[in-house]
Amino acid sequence: MNKQELLKDYKKQEDKLCLSQVLDKIEMTAKREKIEYTDFLDMYQVSLVENFLRKIQFKNFQLYGGYEDAERKVLITFPEKFNDKMLEKNYDKILKVVRIQLPEEEKGKYSHRNYLGGIVKLGLKREKVGDILVGEEGGDIITVSDFAEVLKAQLPSLTRFENAKIEVEAIQNVRKLEIKVEEVSIIVPSLRLDNIVSDLARTSRSKASEIIAQERVFVNGQNETKNSKQVKCGDIITIRGKGRFIIKEFTGTTRSGRTVVLVEKYV
């Protein structure tokens, strides 16, 4: 495997580093005839890695975040002899859930930001943590398996969680929490992505173009850098730092010909 040849088209150093680590996992899987996996990849990295593996025609992989529609995922590479059932049996060796059960007086008090902020405050590695699923009762934090006990031991040192019950659960027990959304309407001159992002992020169109160029916008999980991309009903748009949105319906046009779009925003 010639790494330099495979990575020659990638200009950004962080992209090369990420993909070089992916190639290392592929090599290790081939040599050891066993499963290998990375730390968590963010949405940009997931898109980057998925496209790269398709490009080099490598098929023995799975991107897994612990539940359907996870944003942050680990890359699992596996030997050809593995089938789906064999892979599923290894999920609990790869990922765990650190469950925080809040005391009665604190239920519903904390948002996703509070959970993530606590992890950052503790100085723990973000790449060891996947999605954080938050509900009234508390939160499920998905982690790589070897990090679960570390996180469990550190979280009670935070004042917000000092009275919480914290346990490590199998990844199969992750709670399917109800997604909360609120409906908003936006009015755009056209269905170009930059127009949509401008309204969703509540910023100017030029600033929206910058956000898109910074590779912070994803349409249906794929990084999108074209301002002119046409948005369709059903598209899920994620703007890093701004949130996730579902394009629900085009409800009409104004007298000036602008389009009224009904959007569901994840809250």
Q: List the chain domain ranges.
A: 3-89, 93-173, 181-266
* Three-state DSSP class for residue 95: strand
- As a whole number of angstroms, the distance between CA 29 and CA 32 comes to 5
The pLDDT score that the predictor gives to residue 230 is 97
**Is pLDDT of 147 > 80?**
yes
Burial class from Cβ neighbours inside 10 Å (0-12, 13-18, 19+) for residue 71 reads: middle
Q: List pLDDT tens digits, range 176-214.
A: 776 678 999 999 999 999 999 999 999 999 999 999 999
Q: Which CATH architecture has domain 181-266?
A: Roll (3.10)
- The CATH class of the 93-173 domain is alpha beta
Distance CA 188, CA 114 (A): 33
* pLDDT given at position 55: 95
pLDDT for 73 equals 97
Per-state percent for the chain, helix, strand, coil, to nearest 5 = 35, 30, 35
Q: What is the mean pLDDT of residues 48-57?
A: 95
Amino acid at residue number 128: K
- Would 3-89 and 93-173 be classified into the same CATH topology? no
Q: What is the mean pLDDT of residues 140-144?
A: 97
pLDDT recorded at residue 1: 67
pTM: 0.85
Please give the pLDDT value at position 62.
96
Identify the DSSP state of 122.
T
Task: With beta carbons less than 8 A apart as the criterion, state whether 197 and 217 touch.
Answer: yes
CATH no., domain 3-89: 3.30.1370.160
pLDDT at site 238: 94
CA distance 77 to 27: 10
Mean per-residue pLDDT, 242-266: 94
Q: What is the mean pLDDT of residues 138-160?
A: 96
Chain mean pLDDT for the chain: 94
Tell me the DSSP string of 160-223: GGTTSEEEEEEGGG---PPPPEEEEEEEESS-BHHHHHHHHTTS-HHHHHHHHHTT-EEETTEE
